[in-house]
């Protein structure tokens, strides 16, 4: 099963994904491909699949990307289909922590994927969380907040929305939902 987790920056997606991965050995995080150069501490196939512009173009042309995007107009990132297929064949639940555009692409390339949106308790709370991180300039913060407004308007496009007001509780709710969907899927396909 493929599970998409989307939501605005600062909402806690990464923390929820960490909680999911630590609670279940059959849950894995998808590794993205990127055209950017690896950093010193990064290993190909672990943090990312590092590919050339030409390889990335070929993957798109050959429909080997579940989703992809330009990030800050500098480098491309995307979810390669082949590794996800292998993980699914091995019985893994593959989690994709992606943006709104990526989630929309996944609806076309993997329509059976479970789509989950993580929302903040309020927009003010989201702004406080982003400011509290202290990782962005005021200009970057304004851009993230504008993007967040669009993302929050898209909530109804998702199968389920969870409000991350308390991390442990929200992580458990997301886990319960995924397991319920997984069980329903197994019952309907007879794959127990």
pLDDT at 7 over 70: yes
Buried b (16+ CB within 10 A) or exposed e, 52-72: eeeebeebeeeebbbbbeeee
Domain residue spans of the chain? 2-189
Tell me, which fold does domain 2-189 have in CATH?
Rossmann fold (3.40.50)
- The pLDDT, as a whole number, for residue 132 is 87
Asked which of 9-13, 17-21, 58-62, 85-89 is least confident by mean pLDDT, the reply is 9-13
| Rounded (5°) CA angle 54-57-62 | 125
- The pLDDT, as a whole number, for residue 134 is 80
Query: Tens digits of per-residue pLDDT, 116-160?
Result: 999 999 999 999 988 888 878 898 888 889 989 999 999 999 999
Q: What percent of the chain has pLDDT over 70?
A: 98
Mean pLDDT of the chain: 93
Q: Rounded to an integer, what distance in angstroms lies between the CA atom of residue 83 and that of residue 95?
A: 12
What's this model's pTM, rounded to 2 decimal places? 0.89
Long-range contacts of 40-47, Cβ-Cβ distance < 8 Å, separation of 24 or more: none
- The pLDDT, as a whole number, for residue 31 is 94
């Amino acid at each position: 099963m493929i599970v998409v987790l989307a939501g605005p920056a600062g909402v806690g997606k990464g923390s929820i994904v960490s909680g999911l991965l630590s609670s279940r050995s059959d849950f894995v995080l998808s590794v993205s491909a990127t055209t950017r150069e690896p950093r010193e501490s990064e290993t190909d196939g672990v943090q990312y699949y590092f590919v050339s512009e030409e390889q990335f173009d070929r993957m798109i042309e050959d429909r080997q990307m579940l989703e992809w995007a330009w990030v800050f107009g500098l480098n491309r990132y995307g979810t390669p289909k082949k590794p996800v297929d292998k993980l699914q064949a091995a019985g893994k639940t593959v989690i994709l922590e992606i943006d709104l555009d990526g989630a929309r692409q996944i609806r076309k390339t993997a329509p059976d994927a479970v789509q989950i949106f993580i929302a903040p308790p309020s927009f003010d709370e989201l702004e406080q969380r982003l400011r509290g991180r202290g990782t962005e300039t005021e200009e970057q913060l304004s851009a993230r907040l504008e993007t967040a407004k669009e993302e929050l308007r898209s909530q109804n496009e998702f199968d389920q929305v969870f409000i991350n007001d308390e991390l442990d509780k929200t992580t458990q709710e997301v886990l319960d939902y995924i397991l319920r969907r997984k069980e329903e899927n197994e019952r309907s396909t007879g794959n127990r």
